[in-house]
Amino acid sequence: MINKLVEKIRKTKAPIVVGLDPMLNYIPDHIQEAAFSEFGETLEGAAEAVWQFNKEIIDKTYDLIPAVKPQIAMYEQFGIPGLEVFKRTVDYCKAKDLVVIGDIKRGDIGSTSMAYARGHIGKVSIRGKEYTPFGEDFVTVNPYLGSDGISPFIDVCKEERRGLFILVKTSNPSSGEFQDRLIDGRPLYELVGEKVAEWGEECMGEEYSYIGAVVGATYPEMGKVLRKIMPKSYILVPGYGAQGGQGKDLVHFFNEDGLGAIVNSSRGIIAAYKQEAYAKYGAKNFGDASRAAVEAMVSDINGALEAAK
């Protein structure tokens, strides 16, 4: 699947991923009112509002982008109806030929880790018949439990040609409480990055590994170091826009070939209509505001990469 992601990034000239992380307060009132009118002010109503919101954003942006990243917690909070919408969103995006990164941040061991892997990027067998439960192309994984937690995911990646983005240095302010701790004089995130590169050697695509890393845009100097440690691992970069990251901060996350990184923006795109820069679109045209925000993000990042040459 990494080959498809690289191909689509080249085709769209857009090294970005749209985070489909819908909160109810991001969803315009007219979408909510229609959903609650049909399904009541219930979990089902909230899930329907999320679905209609997602669908409009996907319809208005899919031709500009290579990938989307739905964050499963935003769906789980609405229970079973929310998970059904997560699955509908995954299927709809794949029908639009988008690469889907399931932001699930799972991390466990043994049979539990294998169950997560099969449920999200693999298949389950029921009395001789195989089923694809969620069907994402990539998932995010927490490596805190070590190889016991990662190996089952890697096994499924090999079977299904799917991929992982393993948390290495996250964008949140308190990430340093653990990730920056020195071990034998080196920060923990560097040691995790080395392990990601090692795991990645087992699952190489044509140019890059199926095993990538998550490194926050808010730590560009650390990203520069980690890029060298993991030259064949794609880096998923959260923290653009709403969390402060800008295109000029991100050039060191990329390799000299202009590839190697994909930058995520979530509320900066899906809730763009709430920003002053896109207020002219209004809530009724929130999808058009999201499209404009995608175009601006692509221009910012590509401009920065060009200037860095």
pLDDT digits over 233-291, tens only? 999 999 887 555 688 889 999 998 889 999 999 999 999 999 999 999 999 999 999 99
Cα distance between residue 252 and residue 58, in whole Å: 29
Q: From residue 88, how far is each of 48, 52, 222, 304 by CA, in Å?
A: 11, 11, 37, 35
Nearest to 70 by CA among 24, 122, 105: 105
Task: Say if residues 222 and 215 touch (Cβ distance below 8 Å).
Answer: yes
Residues of the chain whose pLDDT is less than 50?
A: none
Catalytic position from the list 8, 94, 105, 248: 105
Cα distance between residue 182 and residue 237, in whole Å: 23
Task: Say if residues 17 and 264 touch (Cβ distance below 8 Å).
Answer: yes
CA 195 to chain centre: 21
Residue 245 has what pLDDT? 66
pLDDT digits over 7-33, tens only? 999 999 999 999 999 999 999 999 999
Task: Say if residues 32 and 49 touch (Cβ distance below 8 Å).
Answer: yes
- Pick left, alpha or beta for residue 245 (phi over 0 → left; psi -120 to 50 → alpha; otherwise beta): beta
* 129 among known catalytic residues: no
Give kind and range of the element (H or E) at residue 116: helix 110-121
Q: Answer yes or no: pTM beyond 0.75.
A: yes
